[in-house]
Amino acid sequence: MENYVISLAGNPNSGKTTFFNSLTGSTQHVGNWPGKTVEKKTGRVKINKACIDVVDLPGTYSLTSFSPEESVSRDFIIQNRPDLVVNIVDATNLQRNLYLTIELLELKSNIAIALNMGRQAEKKGIKIDTGKLSELLRAPVYAVDARDKKAVRSFIAEMLSKKAGSSLSLNIDYGVEIEAHISEIQDAVKDRPCCRHNPRWSAIRLIEEDDELTAALGDDAKTVKKLTEVKQHLYSVFKEEPSIVLAEKRHGAAVGVVQKSVIIPTTHKASRSEQADKIILHRAVGMPLFFGIMLLLFYLTFFLAEPLVSLIKKGVAILSMQVSGYLGGAGMPLIIDSLVSDGIINGIGAVLVFLPNIFLLFFLISLLEDSGYFARAAYLMDNAMHKIGLHGKSFIPLMLGFGCNVPAIMSARSLERKKDRIITILINPFMSCSARLPVYVLFVSVFFAKYQGLIIFLIYLLGILLAGLSAFLFNRLFFRYEPADLIMELPPYRMPPVKGALIHTWERGKEFVIRAGTIIFAAVIVIWFLSSFPYGVEYGSEKSLAGYTGMLIKPIFQPLGFGYWQAAVALLFGAVAKEIVISTFATVYSVGAAELGGVLQSIFTPLSAFAFMAMTLIYIPCIATIAVIKKETNSWRWAGFSVLYSLALGWIVAFMIYQGGKLMGFS
Amino acid sequence: MINEILLIGVGIAGAYMLFRIIKRQLREGKCAGCEFKGKCSK
């Protein structure tokens, strides 16, 4: 059996991930916004008798090393030398897509071009002569619908069987002046390890001030000096940075290729997407519409899930009674009975009853992502993001934080500037993740029965505001303010595929179930033990170890309105994972999900409940989030700062809510 | 007596389990069942 490695490269939104899924049968989530694939993803497929490893590279517009996605793609192609690089090209945006194609061809990366979205191009009246395109680019070009599994697989089979990829280097003519300098640098670096795989490409990149290659030159003072002279000379000739001049030449080449191989209709009729954008991106309408959509999202998350939540609550109560009765009847030691019913069933059941809310939230977010609205929301937020010193692109990791802060923080890698990355990472925990939703749902159903959706929306809004204020503060304290404009592709709106959204909902929701069986399960056992120890004390009393620990720290929470040991222990364990706040209440009070609301009313008022919800939102990132902050910033300092800052901010905000509310006459 | 031993045994087992999970999360920077599992290139 023959083994091949192929990689998929292309612009964001060119249909790369769809192509990957069609080829490998995978269910990677396809997001209709740029930067979905930050990491490369791999899959394996057998076609005929060949075993093919498929690597989905991050979507990029070019192959510079300025952003992490570009570095990941470029490094993979250079270092791993895949047997075939399939360049997925969006036929409706051929000119822009060809810039990357030209760079790939310059890299001699053995490429085959798959023209995707041919049907949409046809609808727009765009006619592409694939034969001519292939001739001009000196690479095989085929029209392939990325959604058509059969077509995708036969395209790959044909490319591999014919060994059809182009390994010819497409040499763009950069003009006499530049070409002379390229040759000069090419000769100087051709034997160096960093550049010998493709000296011409390396020379071009060095002239373009590529950081990685320049660093690799290191101690070669002679070449570095020559390079500086070349760049200065080119600047004096063109009055522009050499990187801009070279990029313009490549753009020029792309324009030339398109002119010779494509017929584009001269009259432009505004598409439905463009017409919709006139309203959705309107200055006056856009923002209120955005907040309206978010409000609707939370209302739906709450109300549509309510019947199922009630049903599961009843189910858990019945299960608890049945199991307890069975264990009692079977003559099990009392402590086992208590562990199973007081601890495991109550503790885990209290969290699992909110599964419908979590699944529904993920489903609605998936629909929004896939419809193309996410990219619009980022565009709308660009101005606001600038005001707090962030790049508009930061908005996407922040939105993803509503699902889970861990992948959201990882996706901040798509931000080019370190400053943007660090601030986006630090403020991400204020975006209310799905683990906090059960806490809100429980508290609003008990204390704010009439305004459930609105209160949840307010808590989410509070998180967004605190994230904004914190970003503004961090910018002033730690970084120099440098505005950067958002250049973002707005993909066409599309009807979100329900099947895709369901798969994605399941994949994300599944994590929640796994957490219930792992970290929440372990935490519940520890809380049950603390509530029962020393043996003989009244379960969940002040005399238990849990009570003793809670009594020690409860004075901290006294001014916030919830100076009770149960609340203190709940917050203490909530630092492990936020859902455990609820599990702790259920375990220490030894009540099921159905009765939990009643016992909470004995220690909370609506005002202190709201302060407690705010505290749960802010007070500390969970363990996994702290770890990912450390990993992504490569610094325990930033992770430690995030913990201390959020603890202090959580206390201050909860204090202001409770004391301010009291002053205003709320209770 | 049996109840006391069971209580302490379960407590230790739970604490150990929690410790192992937290340790793994801190080392890997992932949550349980994270969609990025095994796919992180860095």
- Taking alpha carbons only, the member of A74, A98, A71 closest to residue A197 is A74
Average pLDDT, chain A: 85
**Could you say which DSSP state residue A539 is in?**
T
Judging contacts by C-beta atoms under 8 Å, the chain A residues touching residue B35 are 29, 407, 507-508, 511
- Token pair 């979507």 in the structure block, residue: A59
Percent of chain A with pLDDT strictly greater than 70 = 93
How far off is chain A from B14, nearest CA to CA, in Å?
Answer: 5
Residue A73: closest C-alpha in chain B: B41
Taking an 8 Å cut-off on Cβ atoms, the answer to whether A624 and B29 are in contact is yes
The pLDDT of residue A563 is above 70:
yes
Q: Mean pLDDT over residues A229-236, rounded?
A: 85
> Poorest-confidence range of A281-285, A576-580, A613-617?
A281-285
* Residues A352-394 pLDDT 10s: 888 898 899 888 888 887 788 877 887 888 778 888 888 777 8
Residue A52 pairs in a beta bridge with A4, A45
User: What pLDDT sits at residue A663?
Assistant: 94
Judging contacts by C-beta atoms under 8 Å, the chain B residues touching residue A17 are none
Q: Which DSSP string corresponds to A54-123?
A: EEEPPP-S---SSSHHHHHHHHHHHHH--SEEEEEEEGGGHHHHHHHHHHHHHTT--EEEEEE-HHHHHH
Strands A84-90 and A111-116: parallel
Residue A461: count other Cβ atoms within 10 Å of its Cβ: 15
The pLDDT of residue A551 is above 90:
yes
Task: Name the band, by pLDDT with cuts 50, 70 and 90, for residue A120.
Answer: confident
Q: Mean pLDDT over residues A249-268, rounded?
A: 81
The pLDDT of residue A513 is above 70:
yes
Residue A361: HSE in the Cβ half-sphere, 13 Å Cα cutoff: 32
Measured CA to CA, the distance from residue A258 to residue A252 in angstroms comes to 10
- Taking alpha carbons only, the member of A298, A304, A363, A402 closest to residue A497 is A363
Residues of B with a Cβ under 8 Å from any A Cβ are 2-4, 6-8, 10-11, 13-15, 17-18, 21-22, 25-36, 39-41
The pLDDT of residue B7 is above 50:
yes
Taking an 8 Å cut-off on Cβ atoms, the answer to whether B25 and A623 are in contact is yes
Residue B37: closest C-alpha in chain A: A407
User: What pLDDT sits at residue A617?
Assistant: 95
How far off is chain B from A528, nearest CA to CA, in Å?
Answer: 8
CB pairs under 8 A between A and B: 113
pTM: 0.70
Taking an 8 Å cut-off on Cβ atoms, the answer to whether B4 and A508 are in contact is no
User: What pLDDT sits at residue B41?
Assistant: 34
Judging contacts by C-beta atoms under 8 Å, the chain B residues touching residue A525 are 10-11, 13-14, 17-18
Task: Name the band, by pLDDT with cuts 50, 70 and 90, for residue B34.
Answer: very low
Task: Name the band, by pLDDT with cuts 50, 70 and 90, for residue A525.
Answer: very high
**Residue of B3, B5, B6, B7 to mutate for A, most A C-beta atoms under 10 A:** B7
The pLDDT of residue A313 is above 70:
yes
Residue A625: closest C-alpha in chain B: B29
Contact predicate A440/A447, CB 8 Å: no
How far off is chain A from B37, nearest CA to CA, in Å?
Answer: 10
Percent of chain A with pLDDT strictly greater than 90 = 25
Residue A402 backbone class (left: φ over 0; alpha: ψ -120 to 50; beta: rest): alpha
Contact predicate A285/A325, CB 8 Å: no
User: What pLDDT sits at residue A561?
Assistant: 94
* Residues A32-71 pLDDT 10s: 444 444 566 778 888 888 888 888 888 888 887 666 667 7
Judging contacts by C-beta atoms under 8 Å, the chain A residues touching residue B21 are 518-519, 522
* Residues A385-433 pLDDT 10s: 888 888 777 887 888 888 888 888 887 877 777 888 899 999 999 999 8
User: What pLDDT sits at residue A570?
Assistant: 95
Q: Mean pLDDT over residues A324-340, rounded?
A: 84
User: What pLDDT sits at residue A521?
Assistant: 92
How far off is chain A from B3, nearest CA to CA, in Å?
Answer: 6
> Poorest-confidence range of A1-5, A140-144, A527-531?
A1-5
Contact predicate A328/A609, CB 8 Å: no
> Poorest-confidence range of A94-108, A265-279, A536-550?
A265-279
Backbone angles phi, psi at A640, to 5 degrees: -65, -40
**Residue of B4, B17, B31, B35 to mutate for A, most A C-beta atoms under 10 A:** B31
Residue type, A462: L
Judging contacts by C-beta atoms under 8 Å, the chain A residues touching residue B5 are none
Q: Which residues contact A71 (CB under 8 A, 6 or more apart)?
A: A65, A212
User: What pLDDT sits at residue A547?
Assistant: 94
Residue A511: closest C-alpha in chain B: B33
Cis amide leading into A534 (omega within 30): yes
Judging contacts by C-beta atoms under 8 Å, the chain B residues touching residue A632 are 29
How far off is chain B from A410, nearest CA to CA, in Å?
Answer: 9
User: What pLDDT sits at residue A465?
Assistant: 92
How far off is chain A from B9, nearest CA to CA, in Å?
Answer: 10
How far off is chain A from B7, nearest CA to CA, in Å?
Answer: 7
* Residues A215-224 pLDDT 10s: 887 777 888 8
Measured CA to CA, the distance from residue A171 to residue A183 in angstroms comes to 12
Taking an 8 Å cut-off on Cβ atoms, the answer to whether B31 and A515 are in contact is yes
User: What pLDDT sits at residue A167?
Assistant: 55
* Residues B10-31 pLDDT 10s: 999 999 999 998 888 887 766 5
User: What pLDDT sits at residue A483?
Assistant: 58
Burial state string for A47-81 with b = 16 or more CB within 10 A and e = fewer than 16? eeebebbbbbbbbbbbbbbebbbbbbbbbbbbeee
Q: Which residues contact A273 (CB under 8 A, 6 or more apart)?
A: A372, A490, A492, A493
Q: Mean pLDDT over residues A538-562, rounded?
A: 93
- Taking alpha carbons only, the member of A645, A469, A444, A647 closest to residue A560 is A647
Tokens of A607: 């005002």
Task: Name the band, by pLDDT with cuts 50, 70 and 90, for residue A267.
Answer: low
